[in-house]
């Protein structure tokens, strides 16, 4: 069954010019940001077509190019039904390793007013424990000595450098990754790198550039071959690059875009359902701690207990009680709710989303890159609870679950395929240690994950939790806490 661009485009709106370059064109942005932007254009107009950039490989480009960069977003509903829509806001996809010059030139084009990114935590080349740019990162070292970059911060800096030299205002940098104060983080990375290259450039970016923080939320499980085949049978033609998503979506954006462009600084995202606010911090904490924190907790402990997906995990009564206790006793008390938001109701909505059996969100997938995710998703909550004199036994158990997971052997003695930038180092540290106390001590010494303060505060409860995991297993440990 061949791809059919004309049938994919059967409900197409008129083409619009490009106004956005997006770095990291994965499934999440195509199921989330691209849809908001397309809805905004359909309602309010504007040249806000998207040029996507793949920073790693040509796979997404190759699949989309054969169907004129049009694809389907498939919404998997709680009742088991599906609905789909064609998305055609993407104008082109560039592959950075093939032609970095084309990427820099696209970003330097005066028509581009926003560069957005979903590059995951590791793509910012920063130390998650401190937030600082890692100047010794191999890609950053390359970008300091080469005009054509490899890293996301490098592309941002070199494109902004060209715009400054040409007398063109900067673009707004709109990060869409799940990181606290993500706008401030990417601003720091960009200015730190620019400072190394040209202090005057760093000053110009700091004065004229804008880096709004955002909170993004939509579960987008990985598209499987059977999803592609099933959609093809329903449509009668092959879409090689569909994305799967849940019905829920939420985008909260700090309304701070480059003022030089006036009312053309951004699409009319509000009409598409995005929330434009002055301060996104409370929303970030709500999502990072309540959704991402429990997602990671369920991922590590659920995987160890044999649950393949999040919906499988919360269908287990012990895990259902566990996650509800995390919200009620450990997470909700740790931060202030956004104005007008009922956190208990938000937790109920999250549980309903987790229970959606159509969303086959694998615990193994969520467990990826845990060394990058743990500080924001879980350790920050534990730290705040420690400062307030509150205990966090459930979250500590989740950290112990991560420690056992990165050891690379599950509860049945089978190998775990650990996907993490520090995977080899973490596995070696765990493997070289003998007792639970020694394993915990070794892993607490990884400063990319645990600050010195956290490493000092956690040995006793973490060792107890890790030893208990080894003795009775993840499900029984969850049942004890719940």
Q: For 296-318, how does the pLDDT look when each residue is reduced to its tens digit (9 = 90+)?
A: 999 999 999 999 999 999 999 99
For residues 380 and 467, membership in a common domain is answered with yes
Residue 68: phi and psi, rounded to 5, are 60, 30
Residue carrying the six token digits 């969520």 = 366
Q: pLDDT by residue (tens digit) across 368-401?
A: 999 999 999 999 999 999 999 999 999 999 999 9
Query: Tell me, what's the pLDDT at 299?
Result: 98
pLDDT over 50 at 46, yes or no: yes
Q: Are strands 82-87 and 71-76 parallel, antiparallel or unpaired?
A: antiparallel
Q: What is the DSSP letter of 56?
A: S
Q: Are residues 210 and 247 in the same domain?
A: yes
Other CB atoms within a 10 A radius of the CB of residue 23 amount to 25
* Residue indicated by tokens 């970003």: 107
Q: Number of folded domains in the chain? A: 2
Residue 437: CATH number of its domain: 1.10.1040.10
CATH number at residue 144: 3.40.50.720
Is residue 128 scored above 50 in pLDDT? yes
Domain match, 334 and 246 both: no
For residues 478 and 305, the answer to whether their CB atoms sit within 8 Å is yes
User: Contacts for 43-46 with beta carbons within 8 Å, 24 or more apart?
Assistant: 43/268, 43/271, 43/272, 44/267, 44/268, 44/271, 45/16, 46/16, 46/19, 46/264, 46/267, 46/268
Asked whether 175 and 186 are in contact (CB, 8 A), the reply is yes
Domain that holds residue 289: 282-481
- Helices 152-166, 138-145: axis angle to 10 degrees equals 20
Angle at 153 between CA 94 and CA 91, to 5 degrees: 25
Q: Both 231 and 293 in a single domain?
A: no
Strand locations in 10-89 (E): 18-23, 49-54, 71-76, 82-87
Same domain, 16 and 130: yes
Which single residue is written with the structure tokens 């493997």? 431
- Reduce the DSSP state of residue 290 to 3 states and report it: helix
Closest CA to 358 of 274, 248, 250: 248
**Same domain, yes or no: 400 and 267:** no
For residue 418, give every residue at least 6 positions away whose Cβ sits within 8 Å of its Cβ, in sequence order, or none.
Answer: 367, 405, 406, 408, 426, 427
Residue 83 and residue 104 share a domain: yes
**Strand-pair category, 214-217 with 250-254:** antiparallel
Residue that finishes a domain, picked among 278, 299, 321:
278
Tokens of 25: 């064109």
Please check whether residues 104 and 232 belong to one and the same domain: yes
Residue 233: the pLDDT is 95
Note whether 237 and 250 are same-domain residues: yes
Q: Same structural domain for residues 41 and 71?
A: yes
Among residues 245, 278, 311, the one where a domain terminates is 278
Report whether 40 contacts 10 (CB < 8 A).
no
Question: So what's the pLDDT on residue 127?
Answer: 85
Question: pLDDT tens for residues 246-297?
Answer: 999 999 999 999 999 999 999 999 999 999 999 999 999 999 999 999 999 9
Model pLDDT, residue 12: 47
Q: Quick: pLDDT tens for 392-429.
A: 999 999 999 999 999 999 999 999 999 999 999 999 99
Residues 66 and 169 occupy one common structural domain? yes
Tell whether the model's pLDDT for residue 365 goes beyond 70: yes
For the chain, give the mean pLDDT.
95
- pLDDT for 10 equals 47
Give yes or no: residues 234 and 361 share one domain. Answer: no
For the beta sheet containing 71-76, the strands, ordered from the edge strand earlier in sequence to the opposite edge, are: 82-87, 71-76, 243-245
Determine the distance from the C-alpha atom of residue 126 to the mean position of all C-alpha atoms in its chain, rounded to a whole number: 15
> pLDDT band at 178, cuts 50/70/90?
confident
Rounded to 5 degrees, φ, ψ at 101 are -60, -40
Sheet strand arrangement including 250-254? 214-217, 250-254, 275-277
Domain-terminating residue out of 259, 278, 297: 278
- R_g over Cα of the chain: 22
């Amino acid at each position: 069954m061949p791809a059919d661009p004309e049938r994919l485009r059967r409900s197409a709106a008129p083409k619009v010019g490009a106004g956005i370059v997006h770095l990291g064109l994965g499934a999440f942005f195509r199921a989330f940001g691209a849809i908001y932007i397309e809805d905004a254009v359909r309602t309010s107009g504007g040249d806000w077509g998207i040029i996507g950039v793949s920073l790693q490989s040509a796979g997404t480009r190759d699949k989309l190019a054969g169907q004129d960069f049009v694809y389907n977003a498939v919404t998997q509903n709680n009742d088991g039904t599906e609905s789909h829509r064609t998305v055609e806001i993407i104008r082109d996809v560039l592959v950075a390793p093939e032609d970095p010059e084309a990427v820099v030139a696209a970003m330097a084009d005066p028509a581009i007013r926003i560069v957005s990114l979903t590059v995951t935590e590791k793509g910012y080349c920063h130390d998650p424990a401190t937030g600082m740019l890692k100047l010794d990162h191999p890609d950053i070292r390359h970008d300091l000595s080469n005009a054509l970059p490899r890293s996301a911060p490098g592309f941002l800096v070199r494109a902004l450098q060209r715009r400054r030299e040409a007398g063109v205002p900067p673009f707004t940098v709109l990060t869409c990754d799940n990181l606290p104060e993500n706008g401030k983080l990417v601003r720091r990375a960009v200015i730190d790198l620019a400072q190394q290259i040209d202090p005057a450039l760093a000053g110009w970016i700091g004065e004229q550039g804008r880096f709004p923080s955002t909170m993004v939320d939509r579960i987008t499980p990985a598209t499987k071959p059977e999803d592609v085949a099933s959609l093809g049978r329903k449509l009668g033609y092959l879409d090689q690059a569909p994305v799967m998503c849940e019905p829920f979506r939420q985008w909260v954006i700090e309304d701070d875009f480059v003022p030089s462009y006036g009312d053309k600084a951004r699409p009319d995202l509000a009409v598409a359902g995005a929330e434009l606010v002055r301060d996104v911090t409370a929303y970030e904490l709500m999502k990072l701690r309540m959704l991402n924190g429990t997602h990671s907790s369920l991922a590590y402990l659920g995987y160890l207990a044999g649950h393949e997906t999040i919906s499988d995990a919360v269908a287990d009564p012990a895990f259902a009680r566990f996650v509800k206790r995390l919200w009620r006793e450990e997470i909700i008390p740790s931060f202030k709710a956004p104005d007008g938001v009922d956190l208990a109701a938000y937790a109920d909505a999250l549980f309903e989303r987790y229970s959606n059996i159509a969303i086959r969100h694998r615990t193994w997938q969520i467990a990826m890159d845990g060394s990058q995710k743990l500080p924001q998703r879980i350790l920050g909550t534990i730290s705040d609870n420690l400062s307030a004199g509150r205990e966090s036994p459930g979250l500590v158990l989740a950290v112990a679950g991560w420690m056992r997971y990165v050891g690379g052997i599950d509860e049945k003695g089978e190998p775990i395929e650990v996907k993490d930038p520090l995977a080899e180092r973490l596995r070696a540290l765990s493997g070289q240690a003998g007792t639970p106390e020694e394993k915990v001590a070794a892993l607490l010494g990884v400063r990319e994950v645990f600050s010195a303060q956290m490493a000092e505060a956690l040995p006793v409860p973490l060792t107890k939790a890790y030893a208990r995991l080894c003795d009775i297993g993840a499900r029984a440990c969850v049942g004890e806490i719940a």
